[in-house]
């Protein structure tokens, strides 16, 4: 395996948003002026379009590439290396910030934009990710339906649609037609926390 410089879903400085003008489509929400088929997902939601130049320039660790995040969540790929995520009879492996104080049985029922991971990349993530160093939990998830998108909600404007706010929007909400999506959400169900001692933390170099 090649040395991982940045997670698979991370944006690089050479990658930029494609300039697409958002317009209102009466009765159908928002769209692009020169829209093509691949601008929307299989459920008809419009997506932010970003060039794909992974590995060029420098990694921008605070930013996530919309298409690679969507691919990783849709295909259950490791968010770090882009290979298949670890899956056993106990479920798919996710590595999350520890928010167990947020509500009882966390993260049961949570909508997550964090793709899963493979065993090989757990140790690397714990070592290099500042957020995870503040507290992380490994979780096996048995049910993980695609639930919706995270993105920018638009509303009707005088001349053209205007941005409203950032939202997490379920696919079954009619307002999702007004969202410009940037991340795919899976709902985590039937979750079990896995002690790190039970995971073979294979270093990646």
pLDDT tens profile 8-60: 999 999 999 999 999 999 888 999 999 999 999 999 999 999 999 998 999 99
pLDDT tier, 198 (very low <50, low <70, confident <90, very high otherwise):
confident
Token pair recorded at residue 43: 């459920």
CA distance 84 to 184: 17
Query: How wide is the angle at C-alpha 71 spanned by C-alphas 70 and 73, nearest 5°?
Result: 65
CA distances (Å), origin 38, targets 16, 29, 35, 150, 196: 17, 17, 8, 18, 40
Q: Which of 131, 172, 175, 130 is nearest to 151 (CA)?
A: 175
Average pLDDT over residues 157-182: 95
Please determine, for residue 202, whether its predicted confidence score (pLDDT) is greater than 60.
no
Average pLDDT over residues 115-135: 86
Query: Is the separation of the CB atoms in 49 and 35 below 8 Å?
Result: no
What is the chain's mean pLDDT, rounded? Answer: 92
Please determine, for residue 1, whether its predicted confidence score (pLDDT) is greater than 60.
no
CA distance 109 to 182: 21
Average pLDDT over residues 129-138: 84
User: What's the pLDDT tens digit per position in 135-161?
Assistant: 899 999 999 999 999 999 999 988 889
CA distances (Å), origin 183, targets 1, 68, 87, 91, 150: 27, 9, 22, 22, 5
Please determine, for residue 4, whether its predicted confidence score (pLDDT) is greater than 70.
no
Please determine, for residue 130, whether its predicted confidence score (pLDDT) is greater than 80.
no
What DSSP assignment string belongs to 124-169?
Answer: HHHHH-HHHHT-EEEEEEEE--EEEEEEEEEE--SSS-EEEEEEEE
Average pLDDT over residues 121-142: 87
Please determine, for residue 2, whether its predicted confidence score (pLDDT) is greater than 90.
no
Please determine, for residue 61, whether its predicted confidence score (pLDDT) is greater than 80.
yes
DSSP 3: P
Please determine, for residue 201, whether its predicted confidence score (pLDDT) is greater than 90.
no
Half-sphere exposure (CA, 13 Å, Cβ side) for 139? Answer: 28
What does the pLDDT read at residue 150? Answer: 98
DSSP 77: B
Whether the ω angle into residue 107 lies within 30 degrees of 0, i.e. cis, is yes
Please determine, for residue 128, whether its predicted confidence score (pLDDT) is greater than 80.
no
What does the pLDDT read at residue 203? Answer: 47
pTM for the whole thing?
Answer: 0.91
């Amino acid at each position: 395996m090649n040395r991982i410089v940045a997670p698979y879903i991370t944006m690089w400085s050479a990658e930029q948003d494609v300039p697409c003008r958002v317009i209102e489509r009466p009765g159908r929400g928002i769209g692009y002026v020169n829209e093509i088929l691949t601008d929307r997902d299989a459920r008809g939601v419009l997506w932010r379009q970003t060039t794909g130049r992974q590995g060029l320039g420098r990694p921008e660790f605070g930013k996530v590439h919309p298409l690679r995040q969507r691919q990783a969540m849709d295909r259950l790929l490791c968010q770090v290396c882009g290979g298949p995520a670890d899956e056993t009879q106990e479920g798919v492996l996710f590595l999350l910030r520890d928010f167990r104080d947020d509500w009882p049985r966390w993260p049961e029922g949570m909508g997550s934009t964090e793709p899963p991971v493979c065993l090989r990349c757990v140790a690397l993530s714990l070592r290099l990710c500042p957020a995870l160093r503040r507290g992380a939990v490994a979780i096996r998830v048995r049910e993980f339906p695609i639930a919706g998108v995270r993105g920018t909600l638009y509303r009707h404007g005088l001349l053209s649609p205007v941005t409203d706010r950032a939202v997490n929007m379920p696919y079954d909400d009619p307002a999702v037609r007004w969202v410009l999506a940037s991340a795919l959400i899976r709902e985590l169900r039937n979750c079990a926390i896995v002690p790190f001692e039970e995971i073979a933390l294979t270093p990646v170099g």
